[in-house]
Amino acid sequence: IRIYADTEESKDPKVYARRMKERKEGMGLTWLKMDLGVEMVSDTPGTVTHPSDLSPWETAQLPHPFLAMEVTDKGIAMLEEYVAAIRDAVGMEIPLAMDHLGHLGVKSIIRLGKAYEKYNLSWMEDVIPWTYTDLLKQISDQSPTPILTGEDIYLKEPFRVLCDRHAVSKIHPDLATAGGILETHKIGDMAEEYGVPMAMHFAGTPISCMANVHCAAATQNF
């Protein structure tokens, strides 16, 4: 289950960490995922370098490498405070993943991956669009934190390219967009041949949820 920092109060690392702990203990969760993007710290001067004349459309729509947005050492240190607080609250035993980092450049992603190494994250998700295979491999080769992608990839063939190149550490197809139950099962079997683990992305209806459960149960690589 993903935890959002959706209020100003929850942008306090201790409050955010407490919310994560409440989800773990109150709901009995065994795996946590958090959103932790640069917008959590960008209001603080000196944390993010970016052009000041970007339109809302450019910020939302342009691929990550073309926005010229980079996080500074100060920004990384502040983001690290969140991860440290969360790990202190939930412990090191439970898997913890991260999504929605922001539209950052490749070098910033690598620096974040190195900063988060000590916290044993399960993955950093969708750091850049999956179509940039060579850039993803560059990030994966240099980041000690695993890299994951796949929620918007259709059919097995693009996943094979990523797995064959070892451009990502893990994949997570979304059954509703990957091509259905059988195709997702095939994706998992294919990835297993390359030693690439498969999680499953889900955001949809109850029927789709149960389809995911059945597919996961039938796929050894889940």
CA nearest to 1, candidates 181, 148, 202: 202
How far is it, in rounded angstroms, from Cα 28 to Cα 202? 19
List the one residue out of 136, 201, 145, 206 whose CA is nearest residue 175. 201
Q: Which pLDDT score is estimated for 102?
A: 87
162 contact partners, CB below 8 Å, separation of at least 6 = 130, 133, 136, 149, 150, 168, 171, 196
Positive or negative, the Cα torsion across 59, 148, 11, 27? positive
- DSSP state for residue 32 in the 8-state scheme: E
Q: Report whether 130 contacts 136 (CB < 8 A).
A: yes
pLDDT at 144 over 90: yes
Per-residue pLDDT band at 11 (split at 50, 70, 90): confident
Least confident residue range of 34-38, 83-87, 214-218: 34-38
Q: How far is CA 139 from the centre of its chain?
A: 13
pLDDT tens-digit map of 186-197 = 999 999 999 999
